[in-house]
Amino acid sequence: MSQLTVKILFVADVIGHEGFEIMAETIPRLAKDYDFDLIVANGENAASGKGLMPRIVDDFMASGVHVITSGNHIWNKQKIFPVLNNHPHVLRPLNYPPGTVGRGSCIFETSGGYRIAVINLQGRSFMQPIDCPFRVADRIIQDLHTQGIRIILIDFHAEATAEKLALAYHLDGRITALLGTHTHVQTADERILPNGTACLTDAGMTGPSRSVIGMDISTAIQRFMTQVPVIYKIGEGNPVFCGAIVEADAISGRAQHIERLQIRG
């Protein structure tokens, strides 16, 4: 590999306090071996399983995270709205309609002087019918390329595997990596596509594995058996750190390596 390589750590959906704790413990251990240029974490479930709070943003940044992405649950805590408007590295999905609070992309400059773009998108299959992520991605990527930015990471927060793979192939060669989030179930399909884009359908979740995708087991069973809405309760126990490491050529932005992570606490 070229010496001009950037290393990116992506942390899958961080669920509650247990998720934050294992993330904060794991990042320094990984950083010793990889010396990351950028660390991105999806934080939409960090506040008791749904949403994000300002103090948690501070905790994330103190743990070593540079950029926080999100998804449909970012709207669950209104106290985060001013942060979305004012913090340059806390993102909501870009393809919400014009006028929506916050921003959906940012450019992070590494200590080595490389500019890396992070884009947050949300899918539409089985989710809200917001703006088309494909067309929104086309527009912003063209603008980034005009600025000379070739290292581009996308967190695609989507339900359907097909939608995630379709967008990855649509953008192959134009972005560095597309990493899926939202389902909280890590997929074992990491790959580098023919034109140099790394792809992982879903990075999984960082939080209590003794749960139903982060939810308290008995509460989840009750919801399915009665079909009656119950108050969300976060699961506890057996924390797991999930995510991915992407290494890319710093000049072309082409991915050179992707490694899926699942680390038990």
Q: Are strands 191-192 and 198-200 parallel, antiparallel or unpaired?
A: antiparallel
Choosing from 73, 87, 157, 184, which is the catalytic residue?
73
- Quickly state the pLDDT bin for 229 (edges 50, 70, 90): confident
> Which domains does the chain show, CATH number per domain?
5-208+237-264 (3.60.21.10)
Q: Are strands 177-181 and 151-157 parallel, antiparallel or unpaired?
A: parallel
Tokens matching residue 57: 């943003």
Kindly report, residue by residue over 197-227, the tens digit of the pLDDT. 999 999 999 999 999 999 999 999 999 999 9
145 a catalytic residue = no
pLDDT higher than 60, residue 2: no
| Rounded Cα–Cα distance for residues 92 and 100 (Å) | 9
| Rounded Cα–Cα distance for residues 30 and 139 (Å) | 34
| Rounded Cα–Cα distance for residues 17 and 7 (Å) | 27
| Rounded Cα–Cα distance for residues 106 and 149 (Å) | 12
Predicted pLDDT at 232: 83
What is the helix (H) or strand (E) element at residue 208, kind and residue range? strand 205-208
Predicted pLDDT at 230: 86
Predicted pLDDT at 48: 87
| Mean pLDDT of the region 94-119 | 97
Predicted pLDDT at 231: 86
pLDDT higher than 60, residue 112: yes
Kindly report, residue by residue over 49-59, the tens digit of the pLDDT. 899 999 999 99
Instruction: Give the mean pLDDT of the chain.
Output: 96
Kindly report, residue by residue over 169-190, the tens digit of the pLDDT. 999 999 999 999 999 999 999 9
Nearest to 169 by CA among 135, 139, 194: 194
pLDDT higher than 80, residue 114: yes
- Quickly state the pLDDT bin for 3 (edges 50, 70, 90): low
Q: What percent of the chain is predicted at pLDDT more than 90?
A: 94
pLDDT higher than 50, residue 1: no
